[in-house]
């Protein structure tokens, strides 16, 4: 059974992440929002600190361990409770995103691809790729939310895989040291043949075509990558190279069970930042927010604040549940999608409503509210859109397959 009170070791780790957000991220947030594609040099020191904390086992931000390094061995006994890499990573992502989600996504060696490696890599691969900065390349020009529509190919040639294709919207695609690429080893076999490959930055045939200009998270680079006869070692395919038609591509999809709660945490962090700023603005304006008075008997702005705060709390608890289930080796595909859907929708709702309620000061660049409104939208889109998450939840709840419910 999940315990909603965070253990001492996680509270200490989350507090460290909050200090980073408050003292490093917030002061430079506007600078790198205006200086799009400029590398945040302040994060080099941050990278060294994170690396040291990861080595000591006291802190995880990306979830790169996937809980494998935890001493506890979770069992089916409901009396046992493990809070490992996923929960730690979720809380740290939440706190650092409270500071600046674009900078959080730019922390060296803490990419979304690291969580992907943790989800499907063998123990040997996890050891070999444990110190890389991995971004994740899934989306292509011909598809967005339908991850099964991958057209990038991987052909085995002796001791090397040869990859060909184009990937778009790759977060940290220019800065990362490695890219986790989704490709098909046999397109005639459909989605079952989709595998994930770890491609080093210096692999022959890999190039950055361009960087995207975006609405938000401008501190984070988003790249278009070209794979033209790109060669990587044979053992850089994550997990088993065998194509199991019965299993489909559940192996690579397991990646999302790790990363979707992480993205939910990012949205929750931005949501909390906006709520805290809005509370200050309303209080300074003489608007009292009461928890003892029914919302319909309060100022309209106070009633809206209470509604949004309730949504924030529910999103937070859903994300905690998804991460806790992952740490305790419980299937969490449904809960991961529920947390991502709720947090993404709540983030855009709360940040934009906060801009509205703050009036002219909320729309100006005097505060970070308008920036959070822009940043939050991507958190409802990447790692699976709002609509895709609702579709996944519906399939799980109704017991339908992807072919039966599209």
- H or E segment and range at residue 365: none
What is the spatial distance between Cα 340 and Cα 386, in angstroms, rounded to a whole number?
8
Tell the burial category of 137 from Cβ atoms under 10 Å away from its Cβ (0-12, 13-18, 19+): buried
Is the distance from CB of 120 to CB of 238 less than 8 angstroms?
Answer: yes
| Residue tagged active-site, from 304, 309, 370, 383 | 383
Give the C-alpha separation, 163 to 178, whole Å: 14
The CA distance from 94 to 17, in Å, is: 9
The answer to whether the beta carbons of residues 213 and 138 sit under 8 Å apart is no
**Residues 6 or more apart from 269 whose CB is under 8 A from it?**
93, 94, 95, 96, 97, 98, 99, 101, 104
What is the residue-wise DSSP string for 322-369?
HHHHHHTT---HHHHHHHHHHHHHHHHHHHHHHHHHHTHHHHSSSSSH
Catalytic residue flag (residue 383): yes
**What residues contact 92, with CB distance under 8 A and at least 6 apart?**
13, 14, 17, 59, 60, 61
Asked if residue 152 lies in contact with residue 227, where contact means CB atoms within 8 angstroms, the answer is yes
- Distance, CA of 381 to chain centre: 11
C-alpha to C-alpha distance for 240 and 221, rounded to whole angstroms: 31
Euclidean distance between CA atoms 139 and 224, whole angstroms:
10
C-alpha distance across the termini of the chain, in Å: 33
Calculate the CA dihedral of residues 331, 336, 339, 341 and round it to 10 degrees.
-140
Nearest CA to 101 among 244, 261, 234, 264?
264
* CA angle centred on 321, ends 317 and 324, rounded to 5°: 135
Structure tokens at 19: 């200090």
Residues that are catalytic: 383
């Amino acid at each position: 059974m999940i315990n909603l009170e965070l253990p001492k070791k996680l509270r200490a780790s989350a507090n460290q992440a909050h200090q980073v957000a408050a003292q490093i991220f917030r002061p430079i947030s506007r600078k790198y929002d205006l200086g799009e594609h400029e590398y945040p040099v302040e994060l080099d020191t941050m990278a060294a600190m994170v690396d040291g904390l990861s080595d000591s086992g006291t802190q995880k931000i990306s979830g790169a361990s996937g809980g494998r390094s935890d001493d506890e061995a979770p069992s089916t006994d409901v009396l046992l409770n493990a809070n490992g890499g996923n929960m730690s990573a979720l809380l740290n992502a939440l706190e650092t995103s409270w500071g600046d989600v674009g900078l959080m996504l730019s922390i060296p060696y803490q990419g979304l691809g690291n969580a992907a490696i943790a989800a499907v890599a063998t123990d040997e691969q996890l050891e070999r790729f444990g110190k890389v900065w991995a971004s994740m390349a899934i989306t292509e020009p011909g598809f967005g939310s339908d991850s099964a529509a991958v057209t990038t190919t991987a052909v085995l040639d002796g001791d090397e895989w040869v990859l060909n294709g184009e990937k778009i919207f790759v977060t940290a695609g220019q800065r990362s040291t490695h890219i986790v690429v989704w490709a098909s080893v046999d397109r005639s076999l459909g989605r079952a043949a989709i595998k994930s490959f770890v491609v080093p930055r210096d692999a022959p045939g890999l190039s950055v075509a361009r960087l995207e200009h975006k609405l938000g998270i401008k501190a984070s680079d988003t790249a278009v990558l070209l794979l033209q006869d790109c060669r990587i070692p044979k053992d850089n395919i994550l997990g088993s190279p065998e194509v199991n038609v019965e299993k489909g591509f559940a192996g690579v999809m397991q990646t999302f069970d790790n990363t979707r709660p992480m993205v939910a945490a990012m949205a929750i962090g931005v949501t909390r930042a906006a709520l805290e700023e809005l509370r200050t603005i309303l209080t300074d304006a003489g608007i009292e927010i009461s928890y003892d008075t029914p919302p319909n008997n309060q100022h309209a702005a106070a009633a809206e604040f209470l509604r949004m705060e309730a949504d924030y709390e529910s999103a937070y608890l859903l994300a905690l549940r998804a991460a806790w289930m992952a740490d305790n080796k419980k299937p969490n595909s449904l809960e991961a999608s529920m947390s991502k859907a709720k947090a993404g929708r709540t983030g855009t709702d709360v940040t934009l409503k906060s801009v509205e309620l703050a009036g002219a000061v909320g729309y100006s660049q005097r505060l970070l509210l308008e920036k959070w409104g822009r940043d939050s939208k991507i958190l409802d889109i990447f790692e699976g859109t709002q609509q895709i998450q609702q579709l996944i939840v519906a399939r799980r709840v109704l017991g339908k397959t992807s072919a039966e419910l599209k």
